[in-house]
Structure 1
Amino acid sequence: MTTSVATEAVAEAGVAELPVVADPGKLAPKDARDLSKLFFERLTVLEEGTREYQYARNTLIEMNASLVRYAAGRFRSRGDQMEDIVQVGMIGLIKAIDRFELSREVEFPTFAVPYIVGEIKRFFRDTSWAVHVPRRLQEARVELAKATEELSTRLGRTPTVRELAELMSLSEKEVIEARMASNGYNATSLDAALHSGEDDDAALADFIGAEDPAMELVENFQTLAPLLGQLDERDRCILHLRFVEELTQAQIGERLGVSQMHVSRLLTRILKRLRTGMLATH
């Protein structure tokens, strides 16, 4: 900090009650924390829009810019986007400054970092591809959108693949690939509402796929399993011979040494018992 010419300039601007920070961005972390408290205290009593308020707010942003660089470091693997990440992180820092209150009894860095990281993650959510697509196709998608708009305006209709390929100096196959890649940019939830103009909005899932009849079988099997466990060994053997080995009632009778009629009566009794049990469960 200095108290020379800069102090006089600040005093003339109406900010004499705040210290002048010559280079806020180069302050040590501890100095930045201590000064930030002073500036936040002053900010609470200043009228928004005044020169002193703007000075205090801007200085807080510069003093704490290192928090953005710290948070952005978590995403260093996206080196080609680092400049954008830092810019987005600064938005998070500004939001944190505008919402911070000393009464929270928490250090400003602890409060600010989640805002900064949240803003960066939101940036990735809004600009990243839902499905991984090769970079050449990502770039081709942008060119395809421009070419489609240009030709649509010029021709007064939707351009064909051949026309797009000629304008973009690509093969028709590459144009088709770029179109398919565009589908990977955004993913839509199956629960997304479709506004059809009717009273009730339908969900996307209502128009995709169909009910699987086998699902009811799964439920029935789950209900049937404990009922089968309650049968004695002979009854389970008869069911196995009839429905697993697919023997006729006469063949089952020969296996068990009883008549076909007796097997029929036994099957009727067993199946009635299982049916009654399942209906009672449902």
Structure 2
Amino acid sequence: MTATVKAETRIAELPEVAMPSQVAPRDARELSRLFFDQLGVLEEGTSHYQDVRSTLIEMNMSLVRFAAGRFRSRGQEGMEDIVQVGMIGLIKAIDRFEISREVEFTSFAIPYIIGEIKRFFRDTTWAVHVPRRLQEARVHLAKATEELRSRLGRTPTVRELSQLMCLSEEEVNEARLASNGYTSSSLDATINAGDDGETVLADHIGSDDTALELVEDFHALPPLIAELDERDRLIIHLRFVEERTQAQIGEHLGVSQMHVSRLLGRTLARLRAGMLTTH
């Protein structure tokens, strides 16, 4: 029996799901295990693989709606946009999930979905790029300011804020400065230029250097790669330095393309998690 016939036989064993998006969450959890088992034996890119993957996505849409509901209070973006962004996180979770981990897919997927939504808000609601630690510090600063204002009956000083937030006064000032990046003024806004009269803000704005955004990543990534074992470092080198395909890497290592895909996905997830922790 050929591999294709075996795959078709396994497909036939799966329960028929007429409307995957209408499956109840409890039933979706049970069915997802069967479909993930199937996904693990199919060749990526085949029509059978895509059918199983698409069914998994539709069955677990309730996870996206559940996670998106946590952001209703934001009010700045439509829920439809938030759900669409959350779907990206769901798809990433499905592509990276391994049934052998013996972890509930729900527990695995929710952080991916919420992370994607938070990234969306971070990238679209801030007027300028601000490091994540300062974005988080801005939130803590707002809460601390409100708490002290209610307690003291006046605007708190930097020293009082630093004591409550357990930060240095310099870090508090830095967080205050970062808050200015949340909203923006029009580039056509007029400003007083002294003896030269009025001018527009756009005349005083320099051009962006997009390469600067990569500096932190370039410094954070090498130590994380150094912590990988020899095989994982080799796979990273073959894929991103020599730009070999997964099939070519599998041939070089003597393993299947599917195994290379799983190893690469696991390694990239580890590096990504390390980068987020570093930032």
Fold conserved between structures, TM > 0.5:
no
Class of the TM-score when normalised by the shorter of the 2 chains: 0.3 to 0.5
TM-score normalized with structure 2 length: 0.44
Higher radius of gyration, 1 or 2: 1
Q: 1 or 2 for the larger relative contact order (CA 8 Å, sep ≥6)?
A: 2
